[in-house]
Amino acid sequence: MMMDSALPTQTAANTPASKSANKPLWQALKTAFKQDSKHPPLVQADDPDIARRAYTLQKKGVVVVPDFISAATCAQWQANIESLMAEHNVRARKNDDVAGVDAIELGEGARLTIRHSNDGKDAYDTGMVDCFHADKALPQLAEFTQHTTVEAIIAAASGQSVERLNSNFYFNDSVTNPRGAHMDTYGPPSYKAFVYLTDVDTLDCGPYTYYPGTHGATPWRYISMMWNTLRGFPLTDARLHLGHKAKPLLAKKGTLIISNQRGFHKGWPQAPGAERLLLVNNYKSVG
Ligand SMILES: O=C(O)CCC(=O)C(=O)O
C-alpha cells in the first residue's frame, strides 16, 4: 500500500483547479478577464440534436442527455469496476484510519486513489474513490471514453476541437463531506462528460450539481477570487455565489452530463450508506 499525503490535490475533481489556484491574484484576474471578453462562437453542427445540445451547453454551461448508455451496458461496466475494486480490496481500504490519499498503481498510468482526507484547510471527499485513466485498466469502457458524439457537442459549443485528457471513474460511498462549489478553471474552458452508472435519482445519492450560467462572464468570479485570496482559500473555490441556484442533476443510470468546468459545480453530500458510480471524461479545447 502506498500512502502519499503529498497527493491530496490529485483527484480529477480538482487537478485543473489546483494548477492555477495558487497564481498571484492579479495574474489570475487578468486570465479570467481575457476569457470573459471573448464572444461565444456561433454553434455550428449539421446534426440538429448535436446543435440543440451544444446550444444548451454554451448558454447554460451544462447539458443533460438521458439514455445515452443502455442500462445493460451500465450494469456490465459497474460489474467490471466492482471486480477491479475487489481485486484491490478497495472497499475495506476505504475505512483505513489514515490521512491523505491511498494510491494503487494499476499499470499503464491507471491509478486507483482513495481519499481519506484533504491535508489543506478543509477536509473533504472522505471515502471517495477516484480511478485515473480507468479506460487503461478497463478497455471495455471505450464505448463511452471514445464516444464521438460527446466531442462533437463540445466542439460545436466551443467552436474549437477538443482533446480528451483522461477518463476516470468516481465511486462515492457515504461521501457526506464533498468538496464545496468550485470551478476547475477561470481561464479558457475545459469540459467534463459524466455518465451515471447507477441511478442518481435522489439527493441522498449525491448528484453532480451545477450552477447554470456561472461559466460565463459574471462579477461573482472576480469577487470570489478576491475573497479567497483574503481568506487563504484556493482561487478556484466558489464560496460566494449569491443569486446563483445550485441545480442537483438527478437522473437515471445511463444519463450523460456535459459541463463547462469554468462554471461553479460540486457533488451534493451523500446520505450515509448511499453509493454512486460514474464515469468522467476530461477534455480541453485545442483551438
Ligand atoms: O463528484 C461530483 O459530483 C463533483 C465532481 C467535480 O467536482 C469534478 O469532477 O470537478
Q: 128-171 pLDDT, tens per residue?
A: 999 999 999 999 999 999 999 999 999 999 999 999 999 999 99
Please check the confidence at residue 44 and state whether its pLDDT lies above 50: yes
Task: Work out how many domains the chain is built from and give that number.
Answer: 1
**Does residue 129 lie in a domain region?**
yes
CB atoms closer than 10 angstroms to residue 256:
23
| Per-residue model confidence as pLDDT tens digits over 79-131 | 999 999 999 999 989 888 777 788 999 999 999 999 887 655 567 898 899 99
17 in a structural domain: no
Identify which of 72, 51, 82 has the alpha carbon closest to the alpha carbon of residue 143. Answer: 72
- CATH number, position 267: 2.60.120.620
> What integer is the mean pLDDT of 218-229?
92
Residue 12: is its pLDDT beyond 60? no
Please report the DSSP string for 3-58 in residue order.
EETT-TT-STTTHHHHHHTTS-HHHHHHHHHHHHTSPPPPP--SSHHHHHHHHHHH
pLDDT in tens, 63-89: 999 999 999 999 999 999 999 999 999
- Buried residues in 230-255 as b, exposed as e (16+ CB within 10 A): eeebbbbbbebbeebeebbbbbebbb
Q: What percent of the chain has pLDDT over 90?
A: 77
Q: Is 249 left (phi over 0), alpha (psi -120 to 50) or beta?
A: beta
pLDDT at residue 5 in the model: 30
Residues lining ligand 1, judged by CB closer than 6 Å?
12-13, 170, 184, 192, 208, 265-267, 280
Instruction: For residue 25, tell me if it sits in a domain.
Output: no
The protein residue whose alpha carbon is closest to atom 5 in ligand 1 is 13
Across 212-223, average pLDDT: 92
Phi, psi of 245 (to 5 degrees): -100, 130
Rounded Cα–Cα distance for residues 191 and 151 (Å): 10
CB atoms within 10 A of CB 178: 19
Residue 66 lies in a domain: yes
Give pTM, 2 decimals.
0.91
Specify if 178 maps to a domain.
Answer: yes
What's the CA gap between 256 and 28, in Å, rounded? 31
Domain-located, residue 54:
yes
Interatomic CA distance for residues 60 and 214, integer angstroms: 8
**Segment among 16-20, 26-30, 72-76, 263-267 with least mean pLDDT:** 16-20
- 144 Cβ partners below 8 Å, 6+ apart? 69, 167, 195, 279, 281
Angle made by CA atoms 270, 115, 196, in degrees to the nearest 5 = 45
Query: How far is Cα 214 from Cα 195, in angstroms, rounded to an integer?
Result: 22
Whether residue 65 is contained in a domain is answered as yes
Distance 14 CA to ligand 1 centre (A): 8
Predicted confidence (pLDDT) at residue 229 exceeds the cutoff of 80: yes
Measured in Å, residue 233 CA sits from the centre of ligand 1 at: 18
Residue 278 has pLDDT above 80, yes or no: yes
Q: For cell 449569491, what's the residue? A: 242
Please tell me the predicted confidence (pLDDT) of residue 185.
95
Distance 13 CA to ligand 1 centre (A): 5
Domain residue limits at 80: 31-285
Measured from the Cα of 182, ligand 1's closest atom is: 7
CB 254 within 8 A of CB 67: yes
* Assigned domain for 8 exists: no
